[in-house]
Structure 1
Amino acid sequence: MSTAALTDLFDVESELAPHERETRDTVRAFVDVEIRPHIARWFADAYFPREIVPAMAGLGLLGMHLEGYGCAGRSAVEYGLAMQEIEAGDSGLRTFVSVQGSLAMTAIAKNGSEEQRQRWLPGMAAGEIIGCFGLTEPTAGSDPGTMATTAVLTGGEWVLNGAKRWIGLASIADVAVIWAKALSDDGTPQVRGFLVPTATPGFTATPIEPKLSMRASIQCDIELTDVRLPEDAILPHNPGLRGPFACLNEARYGIVWGALGAARDSLEAALAYSAERLQFGKPLAAYQLTQEKLANMALAVAQAQLVALRLGRLKDEGRLDRHMISAGKLNSCRVAIEVARQARTILGGNGITLDHSPLRHANNLESVRTYEGTDEVHTLVLGQHLTGIAAFR
């Protein structure tokens, strides 16, 4: 019996349709061939492997959940399964898929004009155009409504000024979706999205280095200094924070599944190691304390996978609510980081090397649990759902 089958305590496999298993297996095979043999070196060197982007595009992973414009139009469950497999390879590489598809492409698909969709989405789906999503600022992370970036319409041009931080892919992106406060028709500031070609004068993206987490991906600071755009650079639909929040919910949904890929890979690494590592004349797996760790990890991952599948089915039925996404993201991140840390203990001292994946996953998951809403923010979303009282301030 395979390790994956052993750890599937509730036979989640039987709940998947043949086409869903095919999608998962295709992405898993890609990860085994294109990511696993290289990820330790990429992580050590803080190197994002842009050379695998065409293959990702060929699998339909970029904008996978979107319809038309060269996108695959796959179901929510298929998308989730794909994110789980990519993150079993590395969270940073799953983040690339999320930034490109769930954030940048979704922003254009949901909020853009037809001309904007035709201009950008086909190239982004093909991996020929890289996008980024500029919402977070140095002083506006969990509270994006306090953003200081501005957009002023003057002389038939938008002029953007401000700064963004922790923006994935910005230094290699061809187009940035930048959220800024623009004056609405009645003169009040309103959050709007703008499409900013990154070659535009005044746009500067600088990678944030050094990092202890997400080393095989790119996060940047962005400076916007008198960036001039044509009047039609604005995303015309869904003004206000509902525009970016809809994109964030797509990314959060992907994390519900993705984090469990890192957890499952950590569990499988610990299980394999414990069967081979001899101590006091028998394998680690033969000791009660090790078996307790393995059992607890397997139970936690299996339970979280059932939650992810339930949310996927609800999303495909159009019944996934905001608080459900928060519950799933919070749960998956909690489970994944604890499993990765516990798996590392089974590996002992060898577990701190890049020969083994759990500590790399644990480091990455410190970022995953922070971006797209911290544990605290998602806890308060659930608190508001339960009590009817918003306690964010």
Structure 2
Amino acid sequence: MERPSPARLTHSAAPDRDPPPLRPTWIEVSRSALVNNYWRLRSRLAATTKLMAVVKANAYGHGAAETARILQTAGADAFAVATLGEALELRAAGVERPILVLGYTPAAHTSLALAHSIALTLFDLETAAAMDAVARALGQTLTVHLKVNTGMNRLGVKPALAPQMVAALQGFEALRLEGVFTHFATADEVDKRHAEAQFTRFQRLLAELERNGLRPPLAHAANSAALLTMPHTHLDMVRPGIALYGLDPDAEQCPLPEGFRPALTWKTTVAQVSDLEPGEAVSYGREFIASRPMRIAALPVGYADGFPRKPQNWGSVLVHGRAAPILGRVCMDQCVVDVTAIEAECGPVRQGDEVILIGRQGGEEISAAEAGRRVGTNNYDIVSRILARVPRLYVD
């Protein structure tokens, strides 16, 4: 018997294969790509430099729990997230390595952080005092890192005030100041002047802390771009994010070196193929009206999955290794594409045929960076906006 095409994902078509995900729109994340990217970054570090893997925003859309488990097995020293809720998700998934919350955590949540051995970021004494009071009342010690604002002008204490802040934090009975860190605003740009100025400010602070016996055990600054292009910024620990996933810090100004591999592929399937007659319209608002006979395919993916509706959409997807233009508005759960030329060239498009939103099919590819260009954003935004209702499957 002829084996069904691997592009056809129906239960009856391939009984000897694992069934498709419950929803016929899903992400495949390559374990081997994640591990490959991790080791390519690790190989650039001194043996004494720790690697803190950034898995915030659901691991940039890749699925935080399983991604962290994969990277923990690979050897990641610690993990960084944006919120306490993200940290708790990792602990619930069995992640045992140190976790740092990079963003603001209200003091009211101190007991939760303590209960799950999660380090928090501080940048003001009022919050520090409140957290210390909670930790003292519980008879425990809270691990904290101080965020220093060297030029990002987001969160953080200014360098001139940081020595006083460090001294004060080390004076709290129930706080353990483990680290001090900053974040680069322009490390992914060719022009490194601002990034270098930021690092110079941070180095001066570290030198002052060292002279006064106040330097915490960990100083960290380097994101993916700085890890790759500014090796002098590695310090005690680095915090790569986007590069772990095989995506460029900036496609034009800071592309990844050879050997990194995108870990994520976003797929859906054809739900229905039908005819469209001249004068008939597609989707809400009748924004597309056919001027000729057409063959169209409905896909079970929409803006509630993170597949954007407005002001620009993806433009096209891949069907049978060819570009299929999106017609009309993307709906909440579905969209429609033109497969007229594909059928003429490649043969019939059928229900269950695999469709690529991000990834490669045949000789064609839609990368996260390309999708970002089409939508008017970047690859970070594209992968991070894929919603949790899209199943994540982990493949070799």
The TM-score normalised by the length of structure 1 is 0.28
Report which of the two has the higher share of helix: 1
- The structure with the greater share of residues assigned to strand is 2
Bigger Rg, which one: 2
TM-score where L is the length of structure 2: 0.28
